[in-house]
Structure 1
Amino acid sequence: MIKVAYHPMYAHPLPAGHRFPMQKYELLPKQLLHEGTCINSNFFLPDFPDLNAIYAAHCPDYVKQLIDLTLDSKSIRKIGFPLSKELVDRELLIADGSIKAAVFALEHGVALNIAGGTHHAYSNRGEAFCLLNDQAIAARYLQRHHAIKKMLIVDLDVHQGNGTAEIFANDTSVFTFSMHGASNYPFKKEISDLDIALPKETSDKDYLHILENTLPTLIEEQRPDFIFYLSGVDILSSDKLGKINCTLSGCKERDRFVLSICKEYQLPVMCSMGGGYSPDIKTIIEAHANTYRVAKHLFD
């Protein structure tokens, strides 16, 4: 049975005209219920996490400034969102959703978070719409509370997971793998344990060939006990912020390959949705929904 984290606060509204497509967080669970991919019992409601779980991945001073809304204006500009209590609460709920989804994955094989994939959040600052790094927080939680000794983060968002790379730079128990567009944000990239920078207009065929020749080898070499998968759909050719030329079917095949490998190796996997900025919201919802359809087919 797949388990899915969702909270109505995920769709917290931003000022009119903001380009971040918050509506996808409201529409995606509705689509999954409408088509029968999920039923109500698949969903669980995140809560506010113990702040010690957040401190395990983020500097307490930074977290306190977020919660107290005392970040300086330069830091707020780097985040890209107007800072508010509602926004910080939303980010805390997303982090708890990924923590609980990771724990559910230990039991069910797979669990997903309707939001998350906030991989641009560093240990001491936020960037690019990311305040807190949900998968890093969840990974630290598994280390401390479930004795998971080795984890692999598979970040297939079109943007490099720079914050994730920084957080785990000196932690050999978490291997960070980011496959992203070479010319996409961030323009000054961090160093992951493995970075694969893809040229502009990379096709389905080339994208999948690289992934299929990389991930199984990584698993054999690293022998992880748990996988975090960031399944951003901004690799689509239609994406406004991506420069990769993948189709909807190619993106779905990517999800099928990653989740099939997890199933084959009997590795629990927690999925965060990551980015998706195609002009047509229906394209974004269809691409994200494919991740759930594949998960249901493989693990139910």
Structure 2
Amino acid sequence: MLKIAFHPIYKHPLPAGHRFPMLKYELLRDQLLYEGTCTQDNFFEPSTLEDHYILNVHTADYLNDLKYLTLNARAARKIGFPLSEALIKREIIIADGTVKASQLAIDHGIAMNIAGGTHHAYADSGEGFCILNDQAIAARYLQEMQLTEKILIVDLDVHQGNGTAKIFENDPSVFTFSMHGKSNYPFKKEVSDLDIALEDGCDDNTYLSILKDTLPKLIQAENPDFIYYLSGVDVIETDKLGKLSLSIEGCKERDRFVLQTCKDNEIPVMCSMGGGYSPEIKTIIDAHANTFRLAQSIFF
């Protein structure tokens, strides 16, 4: 059965001007239930992740500054959200959702987190609406539990996974692959193990040709036994923060190819949703829902 992390705190309300990014989490869950892609049994509720697992990735000073709301003003501005006790609790629960989904992916072939994909978070700082790096925390968890030997992170959000790249830059057991917009945020990129920077206006045919040529070769070369997939839908043409030109169908084919490739190679995959900032919320929900629809049809 497909298992999906969802917690009511995912929709944590923010001050006016910051609420839109939070709307999609509950709406996406509701859409999947309404259309029959999922039932309530597909969803599980994560809880508070122990500090120990967060500290495998993030520094103690940074975690303490978050928990006690003592982060300096400049560092808080880089994150982009007004910090609060509820917001930090939310981020810790999201990380737990990705950790638990990783364990479930090993059992079922795939598992998902409706939130997560916070790839701009560094070990000692956050930025770009990312506070704790959920996939990095979960990857370290799998390693500590000796559940994996080689992890591949496939980051197809429109923005480079700069925090993830930096966290794992000296770790050969985690291969970071980021395919992103060349001129998008972050403007100072880190160095992933493999970066593919796409020109503005990149369309379906160009994008899919590059991906379909790259991913199978990468899997063959690196031989991972676990894959993290960051399936941001900010690659579509209508996205306010993206500069690529994929259609919703092109984005769906991207997801189909990644998930089918994982299935064909018998590699467990855990998916975090990442970004999506089209002006109409229904566009975001439909694009994200395709990832879950495909997970059901391919794996179950």
| TM-score when normalising by structure 1 | 0.99
Q: Deviations over 1:155-182 (max 9, x none)?
A: 0000000000010011100000000000
Identity of aligned residues (%): 64
| 2-structure distance, mates of 1:185, 1:152 | 23
Q: Counterpart of 1:213 in 2: which secondary structure?
A: helix
Matches within 5 A, 1:1-300: 1-18=1-18, 20-300=20-300
Instruction: Give the drift of 1:17.
Output: 2.0
| 2-structure distance, mates of 1:153, 1:20 | 27
Q: Counterpart of 1:142 in 2: which secondary structure?
A: helix
Q: Counterpart of 1:282 in 2: which secondary structure?
A: helix
Q: Counterpart of 2:14 in 1: which secondary structure?
A: coil
Q: CA RMSD in A?
A: 0.7
Q: Counterpart of 2:165 in 1: which secondary structure?
A: helix
Instruction: Give the drift of 1:48.
Output: 0.2
Instruction: Give the drift of 1:21.
Output: 1.9
Q: Counterpart of 1:22 in 2: which secondary structure?
A: helix
Instruction: Give the drift of 1:69.
Output: 0.6
Q: Deviations over 1:188-240 (max 9, x none)?
A: 00000000000000000000000000000000000001000000000000000
| 1-structure distance, mates of 2:12, 2:214 | 37
**1:207 partner letter:** Y
Q: Counterpart of 1:21 in 2: which secondary structure?
A: helix
Instruction: Give the drift of 1:26.
Output: 1.1
Q: Counterpart of 2:211 in 1: which secondary structure?
A: helix
**1:243 partner letter:** K
Aligned residues: 300
Instruction: Give the drift of 1:35.
Output: 0.5
Q: Counterpart of 1:227 in 2: which secondary structure?
A: strand
| 2-structure distance, mates of 1:178, 1:172 | 16
Structure 1, unpaired ranges of 5+: none
Contact 2:154 2:176 in 1 (8 A): yes
| 1-structure distance, mates of 2:63, 2:39 | 35
Contact 2:24 2:281 in 1 (8 A): yes
**1:294 partner letter:** L
| 1-structure distance, mates of 2:189, 2:82 | 25
| 1-structure distance, mates of 2:192, 2:208 | 20
Contact 2:4 2:43 in 1 (8 A): yes
Instruction: Give the drift of 1:147.
Output: 3.3
CA gap 1:184/1:20 in 2 versus in 1, 3 angstroms: farther
**2:74 partner letter:** K
| 2-structure distance, mates of 1:80, 1:295 | 32
| 2-structure distance, mates of 1:193, 1:207 | 19
Q: Counterpart of 1:112 in 2: which secondary structure?
A: strand
Contact 2:46 2:93 in 1 (8 A): yes
Instruction: Give the drift of 1:60.
Output: 1.2
Q: Deviations over 1:49-85 (max 9, x none)?
A: 1110100011111011101110000000000000000
4+ residue runs over 4 A deviation:
none
**2:256 partner letter:** R
**1:247 partner letter:** S
| TM-score when normalising by structure 2 | 0.99
